[in-house]
Structure 1
């Protein structure tokens, strides 16, 4: 037996991986590689060990933004470059990249296989994954460079050093478009709270990254004769839902902090309240940048609850953000409306939505809620044994949602958790970025390999259930 045949047989298990399993495995490998790189002296100082590197690498690949180190101080310029590359890998779509790479690993690609990969990319039809990925990469490059140039020439003008200002512009442009929330300053964007250019660019990049490549592609294809009704239902639904959530978050924060006497909003004038509320509402949908201090001492409980709602919903399918997605919430709301009207089908904008989509939306929402509650339960149980971890349940739940929805908002809990609590957050970030259904699918396929995969062809008698 030749050496090549021996190696081929040993790697046969790798070629038999399904798309969900391949995605999970590749994500873990990228995180481990990033951990090793960040732990080296060329990337970080002596205070950054393997655990700190592992937490930071996971947060970067999952584009979350939670960190237990100071990015600007603890990482060297080379370490910051490595971190930015991990943000690009995770933000441009971990699933998209791994699916694209699988084409070089799995031989004998057939039409059915291409269609299955297309589903991982939320791709309808039989278009090539390579073409889709090139479109995603090109769009991201143009927008990131555009945002960085504006930040360099008109935003970060207070940074005198040319190299530092250029790197700060590109790093924050990458982080914003990928909805990561990583910043080179420990106070995030609080130092630029009154800078209109910085606020506009960051919000602009967050929104375009969170909309998803399908929406931006649809808008670009119809740019010459742009009419809202000519856009696809997906695009219209994403835009409407996003505008509604931003308006709800902005006005909601103004109301909650006025009634609840939020400490921070009470200390600034009304125009700054409006811009700060808008920035927080946009950033809460998985970006994680902050232009104000967020804690139980600066924001009212009702304001924190509103932010938790926005975080949990998150961005849109195919985007760089996390959460259960805007279309999931829209499908659930449409199903609720159809139920109240006594309709047998779910209808959105005179279009019938398949039962499979509605069931998927229900599965994503229920699975996500249960997973977040499990995270909070485990952290609450373990933190109660540590006298140095006196956190309220609201703080713990807020942090768990922030990790699972890959937001990165931190209210002072992450750094003060023990290793087990931080490990729970790491798992939450990974599961939240990949998607609860994709991860469960990978586990289910692994446990049922070799068993009958045609159970869906079996019919069962119908019986009503009272709910």
Structure 2
């Protein structure tokens, strides 16, 4: 008799699906939209918001009323913090005790190492998240006051974009997006800081706070890796994109520098853009694809295969070529199980995005590079797009089947491909019997 066990991976996947379906229902209400939209478009928008992707098949400010925008914002907040983290925090406030199963589920959904200190972690990090978002909203409100005659409108714009930026969602309710602000230094800085903080991961944010307070004497290897390689990716992304934008004569020098910097920040997971991505060369677009695929730190609002996964893969190559039998970074040895997990995530992610890209080029008859860009953007999930003629995402012109493929890709990217596969197939029991070792020529 076959039994279906609700493992933590399956419960997390089902919780995201439930939030998406409820969000789709609210977005279909007459109070949510200025004009009728199909269920598929509502489902796509709800999925994009919950998975904090940012791909759009309908224009957000002209399609959704303030109530509809509020629903999108709520989905972004729930998706960014994680459904389990969000609900658990309020259960803690109500002084409800968490069972062992609840703790296992929460640790898995938040990508937290173990269960020790998990409750303290949630109680500490959720107020910090709201504080960061409120601070960002305040500064954006001050800046938007110059552009909006109604202070309430400026306040709403500030709140929406602060939450969207910190959660790396990429949604905007500005009529022309962020394009009018590509030369505005304060706006670019505020958005970039919010995006970077969200992408570091909640565990890193907590550890930095404790380190600043003197409660932690030494940063963990994980935090060192995330901070160091976040800086390296931002620097090289900026340099490589600047080699192109510096040649754009239609922009001022300040705008060229800001465009290169902002897209180096945004490309890794946020999905905001201050220029039409069609203006970038194929080489720059491919570099952005690489940035999107790598993504940010684990356990935060970012996506991709994660910085730590990419670093472990590089360390494996480096160690083998150096003739070393151990993988070491920052004077710490990387566990074999971590190496196996990183290789598995990389191979599954590469295989899936390649398969979906080739499938969509056949189904939709679209060019390879824009389709690859859209697929990786959905999988990471980022939300950047080369766009269509109406200013929507490239996938807005896809058939219903193509849009459903992107929806599944966004969901898989947010849950994590490894967790998604384990939710579908389950995890077999490890055998204690060790067969004789095989000799395989490579």
Distance 1:101 1:165, change over 3 A: closer
TM-score by length of 1: 0.87
**Could you say which residue in structure 2 is the equivalent of 1:245?**
233
Separation (CA, whole Å) in 2 of partners of 1:316 and 1:464: 37
- Aligned with 1:407 (options 382, 402, 413): 382
Q: Is the 8 A contact 1:286 1:406 kept in 2?
A: yes
Separation (CA, whole Å) in 2 of partners of 1:442 and 1:102: 25
Distance 1:434 1:267, change over 3 A: same
Separation (CA, whole Å) in 2 of partners of 1:113 and 1:148: 33
Q: Is the 8 A contact 1:19 1:99 kept in 2?
A: no
Matches within 5 A, 1:450-465: 453-465=428-440
**Could you say which residue in structure 2 is the equivalent of 1:284?**
267
Deviation at 1:270, TM superposition (A): 2.6
Deviation at 1:187, TM superposition (A): 3.3
Q: Is the 8 A contact 1:311 1:405 kept in 2?
A: yes
Unaligned runs of 5+ in 2: 388-393
Deviation at 1:197, TM superposition (A): 1.3
Deviation at 1:375, TM superposition (A): 1.1
Deviation at 1:100, TM superposition (A): 7.4
Greater Rg over alpha carbons, structure: 1
Separation (CA, whole Å) in 2 of partners of 1:182 and 1:221: 32
Q: Is the 8 A contact 1:177 1:206 kept in 2?
A: yes
Deviation at 1:302, TM superposition (A): 0.5
Q: Is the 8 A contact 2:237 2:264 kept in 1?
A: yes
Deviation at 1:460, TM superposition (A): 2.2
Q: Is the 8 A contact 1:338 1:346 kept in 2?
A: yes
Q: Is the 8 A contact 1:93 1:318 kept in 2?
A: no
Separation (CA, whole Å) in 2 of partners of 1:130 and 1:85: 23
Q: Say yes or no: does 1:183 pair with 2:177.
A: no
Matches within 5 A, 1:172-251: 172-224=161-213, 230-251=218-239
Distance 1:50 1:82, change over 3 A: same
The alignment partner of 2:398 has SS state of coil
The alignment partner of 2:212 has SS state of coil
**Could you say which residue in structure 2 is the equivalent of 1:435?**
416
**Could you say which residue in structure 2 is the equivalent of 1:38?**
27
- Aligned with 1:168 (options 151, 154, 157): 157
Deviation at 1:325, TM superposition (A): 0.4
Separation (CA, whole Å) in 2 of partners of 1:129 and 1:101: 14
Distance 1:366 1:411, change over 3 A: same
- Aligned with 1:272 (options 230, 252, 255): 255
Separation (CA, whole Å) in 2 of partners of 1:186 and 1:91: 24
Deviation at 1:293, TM superposition (A): 1.1
Separation (CA, whole Å) in 2 of partners of 1:108 and 1:409: 38
**Could you say which residue in structure 2 is the equivalent of 1:134?**
123
Q: Is the 8 A contact 1:118 1:129 kept in 2?
A: yes
Q: Deviations over 1:222-247 (max 9, x none)?
A: 114599x9211111110010000001
Separation (CA, whole Å) in 2 of partners of 1:245 and 1:432: 20
Matches within 5 A, 1:23-62: 23-62=12-51
- Aligned with 2:298 (options 312, 317, 329): 317
Separation (CA, whole Å) in 2 of partners of 1:419 and 1:285: 28
Q: Deviations over 1:49-94 (max 9, x none)?
A: 2111110000000000001111111101111111100000101124
Separation (CA, whole Å) in 2 of partners of 1:123 and 1:429: 22
Separation (CA, whole Å) in 1 of partners of 2:60 and 2:407: 18
Distance 1:95 1:434, change over 3 A: farther
**Could you say which residue in structure 2 is the equivalent of 1:424?**
405
The alignment partner of 1:222 has SS state of helix
Q: Is the 8 A contact 2:166 2:194 kept in 1?
A: yes
**Could you say which residue in structure 1 is the equivalent of 2:359?**
378
Q: Is the 8 A contact 1:95 1:434 kept in 2?
A: no
The alignment partner of 2:115 has SS state of coil
Query: Is the deviation greater in 128-137 or in 201-210?
Result: 128-137
**Could you say which residue in structure 1 is the equivalent of 2:390?**
none
Deviation at 1:127, TM superposition (A): 2.8
Separation (CA, whole Å) in 2 of partners of 1:54 and 1:462: 50
Q: Say yes or no: does 1:369 pair with 2:344.
A: no
Separation (CA, whole Å) in 2 of partners of 1:133 and 1:403: 28
Q: Is the 8 A contact 2:89 2:123 kept in 1?
A: no
Separation (CA, whole Å) in 2 of partners of 1:457 and 1:119: 25
Distance 1:306 1:108, change over 3 A: closer
**Could you say which residue in structure 2 is the equivalent of 1:9?**
none
Deviation at 1:188, TM superposition (A): 2.0
Q: Is the 8 A contact 2:244 2:280 kept in 1?
A: no
Distance 1:364 1:98, change over 3 A: farther
The alignment partner of 1:223 has SS state of helix
Q: Is the 8 A contact 2:50 2:80 kept in 1?
A: yes
Separation (CA, whole Å) in 1 of partners of 2:175 and 2:144: 18
Q: Is the 8 A contact 2:121 2:206 kept in 1?
A: no
Q: Is the 8 A contact 1:155 1:198 kept in 2?
A: no
